Amino acid sequence: MRYIGIIILLVLCMILLLLTGGIVNTVIAKTVIENIENQEDINQNSNNFQSSPTGSIQKLTEELVTKNPQKWSGLGMGIFSGGASDIDIILANGFEELRIDIPDYQDAIWLNDSKATVIGVTAKGAKVIWGVSSNSFNNTKYTITATTWVD
């Protein structure tokens, strides 16, 4: 008897959840549809038109051009050269394009470690941008600024 009471209680809870969930989803769906319709009205009234020298409004006919067509299309992230031990996890989660820093460009050991990291990560299939960090662990001797960067 005790189990039957628990089962009945669980069934009642499920029915209550289903009923309230259906009401909430209906309200959310209506709100989303209204927001989409409002956004379409705004777009038609503002973005599709431009003024001409004569003062009349004309429909925009030019296509927008991407300023950087070489931009990578996939997921990307910046990692520190010491974080390359997790490259298998990073690649498994879809991050294929990585920016790896050179933590201290005047320290030969760190520079060589960073080079080795780039080689290892590239061998596993990642696309890499390799660049100098502008911080160098708050060591002001190596921080890159407008005055310390050589032209």
The overall average pLDDT reported for the chain is 66
For residues 128 and 120, the answer to whether their CB atoms sit within 8 Å is no
Q: Residue 97 domain-assigned?
A: yes
Strands 49-51 and 127-132: unpaired
Looking up tokens 């599709």, which residue turns up? 48
Going by pLDDT thresholds of 50, 70 and 90, the confidence category of residue 28 is: low
Structural domains counted in the chain: 2
Q: Residue 11 domain-assigned?
A: yes
Q: Residue 137 domain-assigned?
A: no
Residue 61 makes CB contacts below 8 A (sequence gap 6+) with: none
CA dist 76 and 87 (Å) reads 12
Q: What is the pLDDT averaged over residues 8-31?
A: 63
The pLDDT of residue 48 is 45
The pLDDT of residue 66 is 55
Percentage of residues in the chain having pLDDT higher than 90 = 0
Cα distance between the two ends of the chain = 85
Containing domain of residue 121, as a range?
75-132
pLDDT exceeds cutoff 60 at 60: no
The pLDDT of residue 137 is 59
For residues 121 and 85, the answer to whether their CB atoms sit within 8 Å is no
